[in-house]
A and B are shown apart, each in its own frame.
Chain A
Amino acid sequence: MIDCGILFAGFGGQGVLFTGKVMAYVGLILGKEVSWMPSYGPEMRGGTANCGVCISDKPVGSPVVVEPDTLVAMNGPAYDKFVDAVKPGGIVLYDSSIVHPEKIRDDVKTCSLPATALSAEKGLSGLANMVLLGRLFKEMAWGEIETLKTALKESIPPARQHMIERNLLAFKLGFAGN
């Protein structure tokens, strides 16, 4: 049974909300109950941004992810702010190009990959978020890359559908990474 809350957190401009949206679409395509809740405070403008995504077999109660099962930290402040909130046994995923944690919890599964460096190497700058999503997807073992492709198609407005391929490349980079 699936019943999980995922918290995506980082700087505004890193695609935090978009990454969450793609994940929510994955849940929708899998036929689950889903919710996506952004932080919409003044902190969004140039500061930190985060969004909580719930994917469940049951109706979603509170859409606010207070104790995430999974944390995707895209910058240092996000890691520091939320790592202690993750449920024991949960997953913490971070971008090791820019997050250098002082504290690693031993009661959660911590994984990382240098998403920013990896994406820049392949000429996919700005798509570290998709690299992380690829890694997360692998960790969750929820489905095929096809599902992700459909989710991207739904998340990207019609005028920008040409972005799908680049996003997919970045996603595959994370999916293949370790």
Chain B
Amino acid sequence: MAQRLLMKGNEAVAEAAIRAGCRHFYGYPITPQTEVAAYMSKRMPKVGGLFLQAESEIGAINMVMGSAAAGKRTMTSSSSPGISLKTEGISFLAGSDLPAVILNIQRAGPGLGGIQPSQADYNQAVKAAGHGDFKMLVFTPATVQEMCDCVFTVFDLTDKYRMPGMLLCDGLLGQMMEPVVFPEPVEGLPAKPWAVNGHRNARPGNLVNSLYLHPEALEARVRERFEMYKTIEETETQAECFMTEDAEIVVVAYGACARIARSAVTAAREAGIKAGLFRPITVWPYPKRELTGAAKTAKAVLTVEMSMGQMVEDVRAALEYKKPVEFFGRTGGVVPTPAGVLGEITRMAKGEWL
């Protein structure tokens, strides 16, 4: 068996990205994400890759665009306020059909907010990662191991669909150490015949562009992308169910919050309450079918987030407003406790809805 290493989420995800074939990383320091860039600065030169600390997050995302246009596996990372600065670039990536991976190690907002863990960028990641009609793949790993596994998947999918993808994590996952077993490095990346990388007149030139001056042409292109998004929604959703088979109270949580919720669900089961956990791994595309299945026996659903309640709207919509869906969350960088979640489960198990 491959060796189990103990690593911080931030460092492990950087190493995994390199193993997934990323050789171009553009970053800018911000707590609690800085170790990603620090690790890349040490490792990239040793594997013949490029690490560049940009002058700002805006600079970094535009450099990402350049490398992505040249057909390279490219990544940038930041934390919430820095991601806000990158949103223009993310929209341009989507509008130019460019694959790239963006890592958000979320901290509390709005504004500079605080440096403690948060999940309050859900809406930004899933609904409005920039201006215009577009979608971005969003993965929400819950362990350091899954952060590593997801990097491989996101790179593959962004290449497959030629679109940006995000790993939506938080300060808790970024800062904690956990055992990790790295997948083998990938060999042979997919060909990108569309890339703008010089051709010595051996082929017609390629063009990477997001400007369409004719509305009909732009509408047609956007519609094509939305056809593709439909396929992605049908085929690329991922989720995990824990004890949901007979659950009367189904807790829905992602990322670090799912770990806390899992502890609470386990404690609830020990207390004789039929509780279960549904954990989306992709939040766009949202695993609606999987959630509907997991909530089949549920009398009520509890969504737990480190925010004032953002994903809860997607949970209600996925369940078509047919089941009571309640929300429990902490925000501002406060991490909910298993006891706090258990209290909500216990109340709901008694049939007391809010």
> A: which residues have CB within 8 A of B?
21, 24-25, 28, 33-38, 40-42, 59-64, 66-67, 154
Across-interface contacts of A35 in B (CB, < 8 A) = 176-178
Q: Check if B178 sits within 8 Å of A62, measured CB to CB.
A: no
Other-chain residue from A25, A38, A60, A63 in contact with B6 (beta carbon distance below 8 A)? A25
Q: Which residue in chain B gives the minimum CB-CB distance to A61? A: B263
Q: Check if B259 sits within 8 Å of A36, measured CB to CB.
A: no
Interface residue count on the B side (C-beta < 8 Å): 23
Q: Check if B177 sits within 8 Å of A36, measured CB to CB.
A: yes
Chain A interface mostly helix, strand, loop or mixed?
A: mixed
Number of A-B contacts (CB under 8 A): 62
Q: Check if A34 sits within 8 Å of B335, measured CB to CB.
A: no
Q: Check if A61 sits within 8 Å of B259, measured CB to CB.
A: yes
Across-interface contacts of A24 in B (CB, < 8 A) = 6, 177
**25 residue pairs A–B, Cβ–Cβ below 8 Å:** A21-B6, A21-B177, A24-B6, A24-B177, A34-B178, A36-B6, A37-B172, A38-B175, A40-B31, A40-B115, A40-B171, A42-B115, A59-B143, A60-B178, A61-B259, A61-B260, A61-B266, A62-B260, A62-B263, A62-B335, A62-B338, A63-B172, A63-B259, A64-B260, A66-B339
Whether B262 is near chain A, meaning CB under 8 Å from some CB there, is yes
Q: Check if A64 sits within 8 Å of B172, measured CB to CB.
A: yes
Cβ proximity bits B1-17 to A, threshold 8 Å, 1 near / 0 not: 00010100000000000
* Interchain residue pairs A-B with the least CB separation, the first 8: A61-B263, A36-B177, A62-B260, A37-B176, A63-B176, A61-B259, A61-B262, A66-B337
Across-interface contacts of A34 in B (CB, < 8 A) = 6, 178-179
Across-interface contacts of B178 in A (CB, < 8 A) = 34-36, 60, 63
A152 to chain B, nearest CB (A): 13
Besides the known contacts A37-B176, A62-B335, A63-B259, 7 further A-B residue pairs in the complex with CB atoms under 8 A apart: A21-B177, A28-B6, A35-B176, A41-B116, A60-B259, A61-B262, A64-B337
Cβ proximity bits B243-260 to A, threshold 8 Å, 1 near / 0 not: 000000000000000011
Whether B165 is near chain A, meaning CB under 8 Å from some CB there, is no
Across-interface contacts of A36 in B (CB, < 8 A) = 6, 176-178
Q: Which residue in chain A gives the minimum CB-CB distance to B4? A: A28
Q: Check if A154 sits within 8 Å of B6, measured CB to CB.
A: yes
Whether B32 is near chain A, meaning CB under 8 Å from some CB there, is yes
A148 to chain B, nearest CB (A): 15
CA distance A28 to B262 in the complex (A): 22
Q: Which residue in chain B gives the minimum CB-CB distance to A21? A: B177
Q: Check if A64 sits within 8 Å of B335, measured CB to CB.
A: yes
CA distance A71 to B265 in the complex (A): 26
* CB-CB contacts below 8 Å: B139-188 with A: 143, 171-172, 175-179
Other-chain residue from A21, A33, A37, A62 in contact with B175 (beta carbon distance below 8 A)? A37
B205 to chain A, nearest CB (A): 48
* CB-CB contacts below 8 Å: B259-317 with A: 259-260, 262-263, 266
Cβ proximity bits B320-354 to A, threshold 8 Å, 1 near / 0 not: 00000000000000010111000000000000000
Q: Check if A62 sits within 8 Å of B337, measured CB to CB.
A: yes
CA distance A59 to B145 in the complex (A): 12
B279 to chain A, nearest CB (A): 12
